[in-house]
Amino acid sequence: MKVLRVSAGRGLALATLVALLTASPTGAQAEVQFLDHRNQVIVLESPPQKIVSMFASGPLVHYAVEGSSDHIAGVNKKAKAMYEGSFYAQLIPEFLKLNMNVAGEGFAPNVEAILEIKPDVVLQWVFDPKLIEPLERVGLKVIGWDCCTNQHRREYLTLSGYTSGRIDRAQTILQKQDASDQALRRIFADLKPEDTVSILVVDEIKDSFRVIANSSQDYSLSGTRNLAADDTGEWWRTVDAEQLLVWNPAVIVIPAYAAELTPADFYGNAVLSNLDAVKNKQVYKFPQFNRSPDAAEIYLSDDWLARVANPARFPEPKAFRETVKDGYKLIYQKDLTEDQIRFILELDQNKESAGYVDIFG
């Protein structure tokens, strides 16, 4: 069987696999070989019945592709905080009952606890070989996931497609993401880089301010530019208040994972009171679909940010609620209620922020 490469020649690999699966009426049970992010050949004779993930986003992506949590057998302890404190607790409540003893707050595996589960595959990050070696030493099959570029995130879907035998679902979700990106590109096609809206993504206010510097997100999709972005490869930068005033962004956004930080914290901060974003009440909390950057619905974040930063370019702002509804229906196969949409859009935290209720309320 041809080995399917995830990172290089993905299109060809997908086409080959799709051809293979469609040739068989019981495609989901066909043997599949593919390369993980270590370029290691993974052979699955049939879709695994028990999957253990060493990180929170593994079950999320797998659920999106497979359409159920039946085969997720465990996840690390840190995932609990993410699932419990977010919309996932409502969306996939069964995740709260997962075995979370397989790893602690980090990604170091608790090998004995994992062996008790007897998983068919274990999903593990590849950035540190020491995280994988103890698993393979005891004969466990490990699928390595790399982090954290946009391309990697697309490939999480593909890897989950291969793993679950539902590459068709992975493709459908990727097509949805691509369509959204293309629509945004058309909207901002005429926007020069210097005319984009300056933003900062701040996730911590203490003695210093922590801002997102990682440039893996394509801010041009939302007609914005991240003033703190750099090419060092570091995810965060910690800066002092003066640096924030030097940047003086037009819009500040707070990632959804920064659970304790709200726009009100900025509006009530004397040091920041004369920042343009604070003065004009343009500090916004990202909605719940931004909770995990690896999750399949993350593409909605670009659309949301585009509407927040450039509302004039969206003549039908209310249409976004339908976009959210469609996205969750496609990915999680669940119909959102109005209350759930309000919760996802963080209407309560953003109610003070300029235009938010008009656009999304």
Partner 1 sequence: MQATTIAQGGTRMRTWAIVLLLSLLLVLCAVYSITVGRYDIAMWDVWLILWDNVIPDQAPAWTPLQADVVEVIRLPRILAALLIGAGLAMSGAALQGLFRNPLIDPSIIGVTSGAAFGGTLAILVVGGGYPVLGAAFAFGIGSLLVVKCLASVKGRTSTLTLVLAGVIVSAFFGSAISIVKLLADPHQKLPAITYWLMGSIAATNYRDLALMALAIVPPSIVIFLLRYQINILSLGEDKARALGSPIEIVQWTIFAAVSFISAGVVATSGIVGWVGLIIPHMARTLVGPDHGRLLPMSALIGAIYLLLVDDIARTATVAELPIGIITSLIGVPFFALILRRTQSRSGWAND
**What are the structure tokens assigned to 61, written together?**
């992506």
Q: Which is nearer to partner 1, 89 or 246 (CB)?
A: 246
Asked if 110 interacts with partner 1 (CB under 8 A), we say no
Residue of the chain from 106, 129, 233, 268 that contacts partner 1 (CB under 8 A): 106
* Structure token digits, residue 215: 């440039």
Residue 101 or 238: the one with the smaller Cβ distance to partner 1 is 238
Q: Which stretch binds partner 1 (CB under 8 A): 63-71, 240-248, 298-306, 330-338?
A: 240-248
User: Closer to partner 1 at the Cβ: 40 or 269?
Assistant: 269
Asked if 268 interacts with partner 1 (CB under 8 A), we say no
CB of 303 to partner 1, least distance (A): 29
By CB under 8 A, residue 105 contacts partner 1:
yes
Binder among 22, 49, 274, 333 for partner 1 (CB under 8 A): 274
Q: Smallest distance from the beta carbon of 214 to partner 1, in angstroms?
A: 16
Does 245 interact with partner 1 (rule: CB under 8 A)? yes
Using the minimum distance from each CB to partner 1, give the nearer residue, 40 or 243: 243
- Specify burial of residue 162 (Cβ count, 10 A radius: 0-12, 13-18, 19+): buried
Give the pairing type, strands 72-75 and 51-53. parallel
Nearest CB to partner 1, comparing residues 266 and 328: 266
Q: What is the DSSP string of 30-76?
A: S-EEEE-TT--EEEESS--S-EEESSTHHHHHHHHHHS-STTEEEE-
Integer Cα distance of 95 and 100 in angstroms = 10
Among 61, 91, 92, 69, smallest CA distance to 162 is for: 61
Q: Which of 97, 190, 206, 338 is in the footprint of partner 1 by CB under 8 A?
A: 206
Only one of the segments 26-34, 201-209, 299-307, 338-346 lies at the binding site for partner 1 (rule: CB under 8 A); that segment is: 201-209
Among 5, 237, 313, 342, binds partner 1 (CB under 8 A): 237
What tokens were used for 30?
């066909």
Q: Supply the angle between the helices 319-332 and 167-187 in degrees, to the nearest 10.
A: 160
Using the rule CB under 8 A, is 231 a contact of partner 1? no
My answer on whether omega of the bond before 148 falls inside 30° of 0, hence cis, is yes
Compute the least distance from the CB of residue 305 to partner 1, in Å. Answer: 24
CB atoms within 10 A of CB 199: 28
Give the C-alpha separation, 312 to 197, whole Å: 12
Contacts of 254 by beta carbon, 8 Å cutoff, 6+ apart = 201, 202, 203, 261, 262, 263, 283, 284, 285, 286
Cβ at position 245, least distance to partner 1 in Å: 5
Binding segment (CB under 8 A) for partner 1, from list 5-13, 29-37, 168-176, 203-211: 203-211
Q: Which stretch binds partner 1 (CB under 8 A): 33-41, 128-136, 245-253, 284-292?
A: 245-253
Residue 215 and residue 218: Cα distance in Å, rounded? 7
DSSP at 149? S
Annotate 305-331 with DSSP letters as a single string: HHHHH-GGG-S-TTHHHHHHHHHHHHH
Judged by CB under 8 A, the residue of 271, 330, 347, 354 near partner 1 is 271
- Least Å distance between CB 92 and partner 1? 23
- Applying CB under 8 A, the span of 17-25, 119-127, 132-140, 205-213 interacting with partner 1 comes to 205-213
* Interface residue list for partner 1 (CB under 8 A): 78, 105-106, 206-208, 237-243, 245-246, 248, 270-271, 273-275
